Structure 1
């Protein structure tokens, strides 16, 4: 258990600290206009989907390094720069089409302006994924926490410079530029740090295998719950304002515990590559933590009956999501990401079709959404568990 916590807590802390960047942006913008928060939130819908295409690079860097396989840092760096630059240029050039769902929005011009700038944050972000993945694969997750704090400090300073003082004359433009500059500076410092510590490996590697696995990992991220949640927000917008506020409120308050699932995902990749066993008590601890935290959130938000029921559904959802991430990590550790992609894609298609039907029948509410969301995630977890058990039985027979 000590090894689990020693790895996951620094990784989780780094993820939580990174989430403060978005909170900092919202805090500065909200002091000027509440509409700015909506603009940024809407612009991040397509940005999140596009940026998910490079997440797999960090996952593969973690797995490859944990197995002791060589990673030619400069080869990978050139690859991610070409890929991320292409995605950024593509996003800006076709921003009108990526923002199709905002064409009728009176703030479309502002949304497009912000998106056209923030899409270039994909370039330094890709470098950050590579560096954090390598450090986690080397068993040094605490180092990533330091860089996360640095990113928040730089972003806060630049937000103050570009938003608070309105240096550029447009707070939204200033906010987007601040994010791009802050991420770029941290990426540059990461590279210098790697060079100083001699983490820059120039050994020969199977670049084709690395890229293939990274793209498979990114595809899973594209099909994953987080991306699906972004799309689901479009359906949430159709329910009552009061129920939608409960959904977004719980989503924000539970985000730290949700991020723990992703940090544990990184641990499973690392531990499986190293042959380290994990105690099952972590699941009980996480569930108890969810229940206790939920009781605090219920009191803080002063939830009504519907909110209370949904919060309980959401707790179960988060626990199953924790298990689902563990199962997915087991497949990735075996380099079997394609199986996961097929299962998740099938589930997502059925889930969206179901939401569409429920919405057209005027039965869409916070509770109906929560139940449907929970059932489909449960079905996905069961499916992955059955496949994994069959594979393990086959290996034992062999």
Structure 2
């Protein structure tokens, strides 16, 4: 008589069945499961890092910058210094008095929550994996590329360079998505002026280079997770583009790595979270820095909602390359990154799971 054999775990089969069900992690959570599927469980090295103490607002928190006097000739230089310094030392900061009423931000978050709260039959018609254009609802954009899935669903809407028609956006959040996209762009434009000036460039330089034109709205839902110590909301990563602008509800979970410690990004009502992307680190020749951030799996019964807009370049230079801006280079400050193509940028992003500065590492000039 042969000894019984253990059944092998077919991860791809499990992932495919979950993906094709189109229920997302919210569907799993709402079903009342008490343990998460195996493909959501992260490796020991990731889970052990989650258990290390993190710093809260009681000890240290990401900087908050007040933009109320951004148009004041006497105050603007100080703002330029603040924003550029935070982009160099933290890579993350929050802004208040940015010109968007708190009610508009609250309405945007509520509308996104309403989308994710819809029945499966309504949401599933948007569920697909066609990144880079239109509207897409899915769980984990890197589901098939990552070693372990993360506990979140996302609604994506590509707002530029080719604008969406209003009818493409789900009706339950249509008005709010359009409004938030427009208002976030206005704030990003003002911040990019300050960042440009902080490098000694003309205030409109980044806009001239089309750094605001490619923009994707990604609206995450992190539902209750029955085993938050076995998975993550989103794994540690840096953003690949120029600049990211985010609003979040009052359910915490976002963390930023500052030095060797993880810092909790406590929600500030009416505030916007802003961070530097890899592309901005490269074109600034390392003056500004992108930093690792992650979201913990949600142990609260209330879902965490975040609404992000990623800004990136739309028009690549005439030779099809990008790299450190020539205006920032000199014999004393030679380039630390080589030029790279749009294809390299896209291939790097879509060939793997989200990660930390992988493009930066590939194009770094080794001495």
Normalised by the length of structure 2, the TM-score is 0.33
Greater percentage in helix: 1
Greater percentage in strand: 2
Normalised by the length of structure 1, the TM-score is 0.31
